[in-house]
Chain A
Amino acid sequence: MTHMRNLLAASTALCAGAVHAADLEVTHWWTSGGEAAAVAELARALDANPDHSWVDGAIAGGGGTARPIVVSRIIGGDPMGAFQFNHGRQAEELIEAGLLRDMTHVAEAEGWADIVNPPSLLEACTVDGRIYCAPVNIHSWQWLWLSNAAFEAAGVDVPTNWDEYTAAADALRAADIQPLALGAQPWQSSGLFNVLMATLAGPEVLTQIYGEGDSELAAGEEMARVFQAAAAARDMARGSNVQDWNQATNLVITDAAGGQIMGDWAQGEFAVAGETAGADYTCLPGLGVRDVISTGGDAFYFPETGDAEIEAAQDALAAILLAPDTQVAFNLKKGSLPIRGDVDLAAANDCMKKGLEILAAGSTMPDVNMLNTEDTNNQLNDLFVQFFQDDGITPEAAQETFVSIVRRKD
């Protein structure tokens, strides 16, 4: 594999004529401490080849802010060299419009089809048999983070699954501890609901509803139970007056809240606060109900530029992103799982290891971003942020709106 890459690098170097370094502007929204350290690993790997140089185009404010900027630059005819999106349907239309570069030649030369695990990650990059993006990591949503000290203060054992957790809610309230921390940003509410759906009803239900648009299943008994669980979660979350997800995580870290349902990016916050998995906090993948994680994450896309030097740099970057040493260095800093099963993550902490085990056992499910368009996600955000903030909405009424969103989705 390595000599293949060298061969490719050599051939691109020949094409470029090695006259001067091609600047490759890379746009991403990784601006927090851990994220910036992770992206610096990628930049270092690209700059190792003197023919290419990484120009950092970070956009602060997360995907909601960055995506419109990236899209308008590409549509406006001023594309960057490469950009990061969550893999899934976010770039679908840009690909259909022919604005993104087909990277199949790199994928074939590097043998991505054999190394990317789970294969669904590469499928999310594939449109009509051609590969348009390079997946770099796996992030999963289905994690419950619990503060051990909070449960000790409430005089109950640290729960091992969702039911024990809801049963402990009253004891936590009595001890003046917020049972469940939930930030007010819309995506956190819909994310929480999707996790409940994937774990309590099962991943097949989520895939069927979001993937196939099955509105009968969405209106059914199984989903009604998920909505009841969501109403219970709403009671537990009442009173957490925070906005950002990391402020909510901080409530768990400072033992002011019992727990939080959040993706595995939350463990970066625990690490920065110097907490140890198992001793200070507990993580339950799949809410302890069933061992399943979704395989969302980040991928790099490469816009059409028509410039041979930039194309050479794009090819080089695509190859570097999936190389074993980049994968290890990047994912350890980012707190995410590598996209290839054949690398050694000895330095991973307990929670990451749990995730790796589930990944190795193959109990994965597609991420919601792979099934839904941003339009559908936006509608779900509107529905669930209202549901979780307003006690006046009954689970039945929310389910009705949910069904109409599913019926409309494409």
Chain B
Amino acid sequence: MAHARPNPLFRNLMAKLAAIPMILTAMVVFVGGTAWTVTYSFTNSKLLPREKFVGLQQYERLWETERWMVSIENLMIYGICSMVLSLLIGFVLAALMDQKIRFENTFRTIILYPFALSFIVTGLVWQWILNPEFGIQGIVRGMGWVGFTFDPLYNAQIVIFGILIAGLWQGTGLVMVLMLAGLRGIDQEIWKAARVDGIPMWKTYLFIVIPMMRPVFITTLVIIASGIVKLYDLVVAQTSGGPGIASEVPAKYVYDYMFSGQNLGQGFAASTMMLLAVLIVVIPWAYLEFGGKKRV
């Protein structure tokens, strides 16, 4: 009874010591940097940071700016479409791949390959493919359909879908591989049981397999979502935000105002809004996901 229990703080002391550099990095770089950015978003810092606080002035200006509103709208459209379509296409491809086909390795490599390219390369490739003179439109017109028009990057109404195509082409392969790994993790016995019960294949996928793959879906969602929020290089490579400001995105707004616009305060305010948007999505999700498990 009397002998003291070891202090939990000193359990696995070596492991904790080894983790200190990473903990420091996380605290100083991530948390410290974030706090600094949020603080300075309330100042009127221009080229250099300075402590002249102006309250919410930067935020008022931000929400009055047409370009910021266009950026938000574009990110919403891109985000929702990219989330839904990449999950859908990724899962269908994975399900097709799971039918014990021949040359599966070859197909898997081909479909995953675009993921090995950077967004800049992807953007440049699709800029040429979608170019009306040299790309798809030019080829189809060359084959005789003179009235054929397909120039998403030059049409302000649909330019964001031109970017979406490139984003999907690059990212769907990864989703497929993750889904395929999830499908392979499903016990074959379940398939056999479903077949014995005479459940059609699509119903098995929809009502048995997909609910069992929940952890895989969550991982995939997080990966896709983080890719959406930081969308920047694809836009720069494909359209530089044009035509006009029709394909601007929030990350590009932040960069342009911080560096070429020499207005740090405005850039910080915009990046704080981005952080806020991420937190609004992540906190309830993390609460449900991790908060729930502990109670069990």
User: Is B244 touching A390 in the complex (CB atoms < 8 A)?
Assistant: yes
User: Is B47 touching A93 in the complex (CB atoms < 8 A)?
Assistant: yes
Residue of A nearest to B262 (CB): A374
User: Is B245 touching A385 in the complex (CB atoms < 8 A)?
Assistant: yes
User: Is A241 touching B154 in the complex (CB atoms < 8 A)?
Assistant: yes
Residue of A nearest to B253 (CB): A382
Judge if B64 is at the interface, Cβ distance under 8 Å: yes
Which of A63-71, A76-84, A170-178 forms contacts with chain B? A63-71
Q: How far is the CA of A388 from the CA of B156 in the complex (A)?
A: 12
User: Is B154 touching A378 in the complex (CB atoms < 8 A)?
Assistant: no
Say yes or no: A378-B256 contact (C-beta < 8 A), given A71-B47, A93-B47, A93-B262.
yes
- Per-position contact with B for A374-388: 1 when CB-CB < 8 Å, else 0? 110111001101111
Say yes or no: A389-B262 contact (C-beta < 8 A), given A93-B48, A184-B242, A373-B46.
no
Inter-chain contact total with CB atoms closer than 8 Å: 72
Q: How far is the CA of A243 from the CA of B127 in the complex (A)?
A: 13
CB distance from A373 to the nearest CB of B (A): 7
User: Is A390 touching B156 in the complex (CB atoms < 8 A)?
Assistant: yes
Judge if B67 is at the interface, Cβ distance under 8 Å: yes
Judge if A94 is at the interface, Cβ distance under 8 Å: yes
Q: Which residues of A contact B262 (CB under 8 A)?
A: 67, 71, 90, 93, 373-375
Judge if B99 is at the interface, Cβ distance under 8 Å: no
Q: Which residues of A contact B135 (CB under 8 A)?
A: none
Judge if B169 is at the interface, Cβ distance under 8 Å: no
Judge if B30 is at the interface, Cβ distance under 8 Å: no
The residue in B64, B156, B242, B244 that gathers the most chain A C-beta atoms within 10 A of its C-beta is B244
Q: Which residues of A contact B132 (CB under 8 A)?
A: 241
- Per-position contact with B for A381-410: 1 when CB-CB < 8 Å, else 0? 011011111100000000001001000100
Say yes or no: A389-B246 contact (C-beta < 8 A), given A67-B260, A373-B262.
yes
User: Is B244 touching A385 in the complex (CB atoms < 8 A)?
Assistant: yes
Say yes or no: A386-B259 contact (C-beta < 8 A), given A75-B48, A93-B46, A375-B266.
no
Judge if A97 is at the interface, Cβ distance under 8 Å: yes
Judge if B257 is at the interface, Cβ distance under 8 Å: yes
Judge if B227 is at the interface, Cβ distance under 8 Å: no
Q: Which of these, A68, A241, A378, A404, contacts B64 with CB under 8 Å?
A: A404
Q: Which residues of A contact B65 (CB under 8 A)?
A: 379, 382
Q: How large is the interface on B (under 10, 10 to 19, 20 to 34, 35 or more residues)?
A: 20 to 34
Say yes or no: A184-B243 contact (C-beta < 8 A), given A375-B266, A382-B67.
yes
Give B152-181 interface residues, CB cut-off 8 Å to A: 154, 156
Judge if B291 is at the interface, Cβ distance under 8 Å: no
Give B52-73 interface residues, CB cut-off 8 Å to A: 61, 64-67
The residue in A90, A185, A379 that gathers the most chain B C-beta atoms within 10 A of its C-beta is A379
Judge if B185 is at the interface, Cβ distance under 8 Å: no
Say yes or no: A389-B244 contact (C-beta < 8 A), given A241-B132, A375-B263.
yes
Q: How far is the CA of A408 from the CA of B67 in the complex (A)?
A: 16
Q: How far is the CA of A71 from the CA of B49 in the complex (A)?
A: 13
Judge if B33 is at the interface, Cβ distance under 8 Å: no
Q: Which residues of A contact B66 (CB under 8 A)?
A: 382-383, 386, 401
- Residue count of chain A within 8 Å CB distance of chain B: 31
The residue in A94, A378, A401 that gathers the most chain B C-beta atoms within 10 A of its C-beta is A378
Give A49-96 interface residues, CB cut-off 8 Å to B: 64, 67-68, 71, 75, 90, 92-94
Residue of A nearest to B255 (CB): A68
- Per-position contact with B for A213-227: 1 when CB-CB < 8 Å, else 0? 000000000000000
User: Is A378 touching B261 in the complex (CB atoms < 8 A)?
Assistant: yes
Residue of A nearest to B60 (CB): A408
Q: How far is the CA of A388 from the CA of B263 in the complex (A)?
A: 25
Q: Which residues of A contact B46 (CB under 8 A)?
A: 93, 373, 375
User: Is A94 touching B47 in the complex (CB atoms < 8 A)?
Assistant: yes
Residue of B nearest to A67 (CB): B260
Q: Which residues of B contact A385 (CB under 8 A)?
A: 242, 244-245
- Per-position contact with A for B181-218: 1 when CB-CB < 8 Å, else 0? 00000000000000000000000000000000000000
User: Is B245 touching A382 in the complex (CB atoms < 8 A)?
Assistant: yes
Q: Which residues of B contact A382 (CB under 8 A)?
A: 65-67, 245
User: Is B257 touching A378 in the complex (CB atoms < 8 A)?
Assistant: yes
CB distance from B120 to the nearest CB of A (A): 14
Q: How far is the CA of A184 from the CA of B154 in the complex (A)?
A: 10
Q: How far is the CA of A68 from the CA of B255 in the complex (A)?
A: 10
CB distance from A70 to the nearest CB of B (A): 11
User: Is B245 touching A386 in the complex (CB atoms < 8 A)?
Assistant: yes
CB distance from B247 to the nearest CB of A (A): 11
User: Is A68 touching B243 in the complex (CB atoms < 8 A)?
Assistant: no
Residue of A nearest to B49 (CB): A75
Q: Which of these, A71, A241, A388, A404, contacts B244 with CB under 8 Å?
A: A388
User: Is B156 touching A68 in the complex (CB atoms < 8 A)?
Assistant: no
Q: How far is the CA of A241 from the CA of B263 in the complex (A)?
A: 31
Q: Which residues of B contact A375 (CB under 8 A)?
A: 46, 257, 261-263, 266
Q: Which residues of A contact B47 (CB under 8 A)?
A: 71, 92-94
Q: Which residues of A contact B48 (CB under 8 A)?
A: 75, 93-94, 97
Q: How far is the CA of A75 from the CA of B61 in the complex (A)?
A: 27
Q: Which residues of B contact A378 (CB under 8 A)?
A: 256-257, 260-261, 263
User: Is A390 touching B246 in the complex (CB atoms < 8 A)?
Assistant: yes
User: Is A68 touching B260 in the complex (CB atoms < 8 A)?
Assistant: yes
Q: Which residues of B contact A67 (CB under 8 A)?
A: 259-260, 262
CB distance from A223 to the nearest CB of B (A): 19
Q: How far is the CA of A185 from the CA of B132 in the complex (A)?
A: 18
8 cross-chain pairs, A with B, having the tightest CB-CB distances, nearest first:
A389-B244, A378-B261, A68-B259, A93-B47, A375-B263, A386-B244, A374-B262, A389-B243
> What are 21 pairs between A and B in contact, CB < 8 Å?
A64-B260, A67-B259, A71-B47, A75-B48, A92-B47, A93-B46, A97-B48, A185-B240, A241-B132, A373-B46, A373-B262, A374-B262, A375-B46, A375-B262, A375-B266, A382-B65, A383-B66, A386-B66, A388-B244, A389-B244, A390-B244
Given contacts A241-B132, A388-B244, A389-B156, 8 further A-B contacts (CB under 8 A): A375-B46, A377-B261, A379-B65, A382-B65, A382-B245, A385-B244, A386-B245, A408-B61
